[in-house]
């Protein structure tokens, strides 16, 4: 069980940063708390006593989202359920609803924040590949000589390994900044042992934009999760596809490159096989999910039975 001496609920960022920088060693930041409470149980960390818990969910500056220069800044209090209820976010970030529907369940999505998910840096976090596909950056904020300063780090670099990130001891993750991808088709693939409330063995996110005739890949974004200690952006496969005539054969060829990305030692054979299939499925689903575009596969006829 988790116990603590103090539980703070700061309401503005300077207050939160001050409490955080003065907190006793071993104190923790809390967002949704959906990870820290299960962590402090038998079989994992066991009984844990922490001096202070600083809850960021009432910090006003962390609420909401804003658009700027083709990017959206999601305040750190953005939770997964927002991607299933907020029409603007659903349209702008087309892979996020599919990622969210696979993430935990309705209840946990109401509490769990995207930012918290990234900071915990689990290799099997569902949010990571989707954010990486959207060229996500994380905003880290701290107090410097009494003033609030922020920096932005690409998520693909930010996560260094299981539970390891580039966040500094006095920083709070205050936002995630993503490309908007209106008009793209998005998809998310995940496999575990069931379909709800399940930790993935592997997952992948895709964003695809075809030309107006549905014949050419104008843009492709692909990322994998669960296959190694760090998130993986499949740049090579993306460049194989970008600008090319859309066909199943090409998708299959691009997908083959996924196998070599698998670094996990456990279940390696399975993961190698699954990610190849995932990339295929992710691309085909993303193409199908594109609004207002009818995709025209070059090799459609041979494949209709598939």
Partner 1 sequence: MARMKRGRGMAASWYGIARTATIDRAGAWAELDDGGTGKVVTGVTEIGEGILTVLAQVAADEMGIKPQDVTIGDNDTARSPEAAHAGATRQTYMIGNSVALASREARNVLFEQIADHWDVEIEQLRAFDGEIWAEETNLRMSMEDAVATCKARGVVPVGSASFTAHGTGLDPVDGSGSPWQAYVFGTQVAEVEVDTWTGEVQVLGIWAAHDVGRAINPRGVEGQIEGGVVQGLGQALMEEYITDKGHAITHGFAKYILPTSLDIPQINCVIVEDPDPKSPLKAKGIGEPALVPTAPAIMNAIYDAIGVRMKTLPATPEKILKALRDHVPGREQIAQSARQERAGAARH
Partner 2 sequence: MPKLQIDAEVNGRKISREADPHARLLDFLRDELNLTGTKEGCGAGECGTCSVFVDGKLVKSCLMPVAKVSGSRIETIEGLAKPGDLTPVQRAFHKTGASQCGYCIPGMVMAATSALRENPQADIEEIKERLGGNICRCTGYTKIFEAVEIAKAVIAGDMPETALEEDSVEDSYIGANVRRIDAPSKVSGRLKYAADMKMPDMLQMQVLRSPHAHARIVSIDTSAAEAMDGVACVITADDVPGKDGFGVFVHDQPIMARGKVRHVGEAVAAVAAEDLVTARRALAMIRVEYEELPGLYDPADALKPGAPVIHDYAPDNLVKHIPVRKGDTQKGFAEADLILEDDFGTQQVEHAYLEPEAGIAYVDPDDVVVVISPSQNITHHRHMLAEIIAKPINKVRFIMSPVGGGFGGKEDMIYQGMLALCAMKTHRPVQLNFTREESLIASAKRHPSRVHYKMGLKWSGQITAIEFDMLSDGGAYGMSSEGVMRKAAILSCGPYEVENLSVDTRGVYTNNTPSGAFRTFGGMQAQFATESMMDMAAEALDMDPFEIRRINMMKIGSSTHTQQTLETASLDRVLEAAEIASRWEKGAPRVRGAERGDLNGPDTRKPCTLGARIKNAAKDDAKTTERVA
Residue 134 site contact among partner 2, partner 1, none (CB < 5 to 8 Å, cut-off depends on kind): none
Residues 6 or more apart whose CB falls under 8 angstroms from that of 77 comprise 31, 56, 57, 59, 62, 63, 64, 113
Residue 143 site contact among partner 2, partner 1, none (CB < 5 to 8 Å, cut-off depends on kind): none
Q: Which is nearer to partner 1, 65 or 102 (CB)?
A: 102
Q: Which stretch binds partner 2 (CB under 8 A): 26-34, 208-216, 225-233, 294-302?
A: 26-34
Q: Which is nearer to partner 2, 7 or 67 (CB)?
A: 7
Residue 278 site contact among partner 2, partner 1, none (CB < 5 to 8 Å, cut-off depends on kind): partner 1
Shortest Cβ 191–partner 1 spacing (Å): 4
Q: Which is nearer to partner 2, 149 or 288 (CB)?
A: 288
38 binds partner 2 (CB under 8 A): yes
Q: Which is nearer to partner 1, 11 or 196 (CB)?
A: 196
Task: Considering only residues 52 through 71, tell me which ones interact with partner 2, judged by CB under 8 A.
Answer: 53, 55, 57
Query: In the numeric block, which tokens belong to residue 197?
Result: 């409330």
In whole angstroms, what is the distance from residue 110 CA to residue 32 CA?
A: 8
Residue 306 site contact among partner 2, partner 1, none (CB < 5 to 8 Å, cut-off depends on kind): partner 1
Could you say which of 13, 27, 32, 286 contacts partner 2 (CB under 8 A)? 32
Task: Considering only residues 172 through 231, tell me which ones interact with partner 2, judged by CB under 8 A.
Answer: 195-197
Residue 53 site contact among partner 2, partner 1, none (CB < 5 to 8 Å, cut-off depends on kind): partner 2
Q: Which is nearer to partner 1, 273 or 296 (CB)?
A: 273
Site string for partner 2, 95-114 (x = CB under 8 A): --xx--xx-xxxxx-xx---
In whole angstroms, what is the distance from residue 205 CA to residue 50 CA?
A: 36
Query: In the numeric block, which tokens belong to residue 30?
Result: 């809390």
Query: In the numeric block, which tokens belong to residue 257?
Result: 């490159």
Give the residues lining the site for partner 1 (CB under 8 A).
Answer: 38, 41-44, 191-199, 201, 267, 269-270, 273-274, 277-278, 280-281, 305-306
Shortest Cβ 112–partner 2 spacing (Å): 9
Shortest Cβ 102–partner 1 spacing (Å): 11
Could you say which of 13, 16, 17, 30 contacts partner 2 (CB under 8 A)? 30
| Contact yes or no for 7/32 (Cβ under 8 A) | no
- Which positions touch partner 2 (CB under 8 A)? 1-7, 9, 30, 32-34, 37-38, 41-43, 47, 53, 55, 57, 81, 84, 87, 90, 97-98, 101-102, 104-108, 110-111, 195-197
């Amino acid at each position: 069980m988790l116990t603590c001496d103090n539980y703070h609920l700061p309401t503005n960022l300077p207050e939160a940063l001050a409490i955080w920088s003065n907190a006793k060693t071993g104190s923790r930041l809390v967002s949704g708390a959906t990870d820290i409470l299960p962590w402090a149980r038998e079989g994992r960390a066991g009984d844990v006593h922490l001096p202070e818990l600083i809850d960021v969910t009432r910090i006003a500056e962390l609420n909401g989202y804003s658009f700027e220069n083709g990017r959206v800044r999601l305040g750190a209090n953005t939770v997964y359920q927002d991607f299933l209820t907020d029409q603007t976010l659903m349209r702008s970030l087309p892979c996020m609803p599919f990622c969210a529907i696979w993430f935990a369940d309705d209840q946990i999505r109401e509490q769990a924040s995207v930012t918290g998910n990234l900071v915990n840096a689990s290799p099997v976090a569902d949010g990571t590949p989707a954010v990486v596909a959207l060229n996500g950056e994380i905003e880290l904020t701290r107090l410097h000589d009494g003033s609030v300063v922020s920096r932005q780090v690409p998520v693909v670099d930010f996560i260094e390994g299981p539970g390891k990130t580039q966040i500094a001891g006095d920083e709070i993750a205050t936002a995630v900044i993503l490309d908007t991808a209106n008009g793209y088709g998005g998809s998310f693939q995940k496999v575990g042992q069931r379909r709800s409330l399940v930790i993935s063995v592997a997952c992948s996110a895709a964003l695809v934009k075809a030309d107006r005739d549905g014949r050419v890949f104008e843009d492709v974004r692909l990322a994998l999760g669960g296959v190694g200690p760090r998130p993986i952006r499949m740049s090579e496969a993306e460049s194989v596809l970008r600008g090319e005539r859309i066909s199943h054969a090409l998708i299959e060829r691009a997908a083959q490159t996924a196998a070599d990305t698998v670094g996990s030692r456990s279940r390696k054979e399975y993961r190698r096989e699954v990610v190849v299939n995932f990339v295929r499925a992710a691309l085909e689903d993303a193409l199908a999910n594109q609004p207002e575009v009818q995709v025209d596969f070059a090799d459609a006829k041979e494949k209709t039975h598939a």
